[in-house]
Amino acid sequence: MATRSTTPAPPPARRGSPALKDATAIVGIGQTPFARRLEDSEKSLACRAILAALDDAGIPPSQVDAFASYTMEETDEVEIAKSIGAGDVTFFARTGFGGGASCATVAHLATAIATGQASVGVAWRSRKRGSGPRPWRNTRTQLPTPAQWSRPYGLIRPVDEIAMLARRYMHEYGATRDHFFNVARACRRHAARNPAAVMHGRPLTRETYMTSRWISEPLCLYDNCLETDGALACVLVSADRARDCRRSPVYVHSAAQGLPAQHHGMVNYWNGDPLTGPSWTAARQLWKTADFGPADIDVAQIYDAFTPLIPLSLEGYGFCGRGEGAAFTEDGALERGGRLPLNTGGGGLSEAYVHGFNLITEGVRQLRGTSTAQVPGASTCLVTAGEGVPTSALLLRS
């Protein structure tokens, strides 16, 4: 089949390979400023991020016909569509479980576009988590079913649930607070290069980390993500159409969700090995449908609501063996120039915590070659959603 233009075509999908592979591409990204407090409403921030992403793609809002977001997103598709001036919308979907939904929004758009249900998709997340309420304080909206087994005992916040896994992980595999600090430092050093990051210009020393206040022992303040106001969005189209867009396409090579057998909620203390979380399930599906493996990943954006999620996810996604995730963080491995640079915009720990959507946009920047902590020649990127909760993940390639 002849190529229509002189721009390079993506590799043709191999016979018998999944229909999703490289069939769609992210062609636009957009965001608002990030801060502890922004004046705009969540709805207004959402519209700003989406319009910025469409402008980045060079696609008029009237051509948008698909939306995907999180069930925790406060602004629905109806409000967004009529505000930005979308046309007739033929696909919309939402995914649950907080930050576990981030990559699933892109996955659902990719599926819709690849199967002909829509042609221009927008995924977004807008959240005033910096100036707004902490969800765990609203004890009435927490699901009674899982919460009855943990909340009455004072295991209230996500950090408490993850700290419980962290303590066990330290006990079983010899992980130390220094390993968690390695994660926090990598994100902070990347934020130092990113003017958009909330923690830009705020270095983190080992002494500051080690002497900071506890939040839930064994986790301290700097093991926790930021509390941020902000919004982000991205635009997806078919690979064919992507070749005509303003920016170089970033292809969705593989996508997966993960809800493991007998899983519970935020964490699962009741299965055989609670340290084997949803990332293991998502990873099996993700790699099964990909042309490359963990060793071929140039840069990663791994969900970092809490530092221990990084070693657990490194194991889950196959970058090392069970129990080796902590040691993997040593010798600057996660920093620019290391063996797996991750969260190169600063991540949830040091750029902004917007339920992981900034990890998707930073993955796109890396594959466009425009990151502020660019990995030279990066052509493959893993992006993950929240570990612990039912999750999702993407493999992106240039």
Partner 1 sequence: MSSMMRGTTDNGPLLPEPDEDGAPFWEFAARGELRVQACGLCRELRFPPRPCCPRCQSFDNEWQRMSGRGRIWSYVLPHPPLLPAYAARSPYNVVVVELAEAPRIRLVGNLVAAPGADIDSVDPEQLYIGAPVRVTFARLPGGFTVPRWLLGATS
Q: Which residues bind partner 1 (CB under 8 A)?
A: 131-135, 137-140, 144-157, 160, 163-165, 167-168, 171, 213-218, 262, 264, 269-272, 274
- How far is the CA of 347 from the CAs of 94, 301, 353, 371, in angstroms? 23, 7, 7, 13
Instruction: Compute the least distance from the CB of residue 262 to partner 1, in Å.
Output: 6
Instruction: Compute the least distance from the CB of residue 161 to partner 1, in Å.
Output: 9
In the complex with partner 1, which residue's Cβ is closer, 116 or 152?
Answer: 152
- What's the CA gap between 162 and 384, in Å, rounded? 17
Element (H, E) at 39: none
- What's the CA gap between 329 and 143, in Å, rounded? 35
Q: Look up residue 306 and give its DSSP letter.
A: B
Q: Which residues pair with 396 in a beta bridge?
A: 252, 381
In the complex with partner 1, which residue's Cβ is closer, 142 or 366?
Answer: 142
In the complex with partner 1, which residue's Cβ is closer, 85 or 135?
Answer: 135
- What's the CA gap between 124 and 342, in Å, rounded? 22
Tokens 């530092």, residue? 307
Catalytic site residue from 70, 169, 209, 303: 303
Instruction: Compute the least distance from the CB of residue 308 to partner 1, in Å.
Output: 12
Structure tokens belonging to residue 80: 């967004």
- How far is the CA of 295 from the CAs of 81, 300, 314, 320, in angstroms? 41, 12, 12, 10
Strand pairing report for 121-128 and 66-70: parallel
Structure tokens belonging to residue 96: 């649950």
Angle at 386 between CA 381 and CA 392, to 5 degrees: 60
Catalytic site residue from 169, 209, 222, 353: 353
- What's the CA gap between 364 and 380, in Å, rounded? 10
Residue 209 bears catalytic tag: no
In the complex with partner 1, which residue's Cβ is closer, 115 or 269?
Answer: 269
In the complex with partner 1, which residue's Cβ is closer, 168 or 284?
Answer: 168
Residue 303 bears catalytic tag: yes
In the complex with partner 1, which residue's Cβ is closer, 60 or 149?
Answer: 149
- Residues written for the chain: 398
Q: Among 84, 56, 50, which residue's Cα sits nearest to residue 245?
A: 56
Structure tokens belonging to residue 16: 């018998």
Q: Among 277, 307, 98, 135, which residue's Cα sits nearest to residue 215?
A: 307
Instruction: Compute the least distance from the CB of residue 36 to partner 1, in Å.
Output: 10
**What residues contact residue 47 under an 8 Å CB cut-off, 6+ apart?**
80, 83, 84
Which class for 268: exposed (0-12), middle (13-18), buried (19 or more C-beta within 10 A)?
buried
Contact by Cβ (8 Å): 367, 381 = yes
**In the chain, what is the straight-line distance between the N-terminal and C-terminal CA atoms, in Å?**
22
- What's the CA gap between 252 and 22, in Å, rounded? 5
Known catalytic residues are: 303, 353
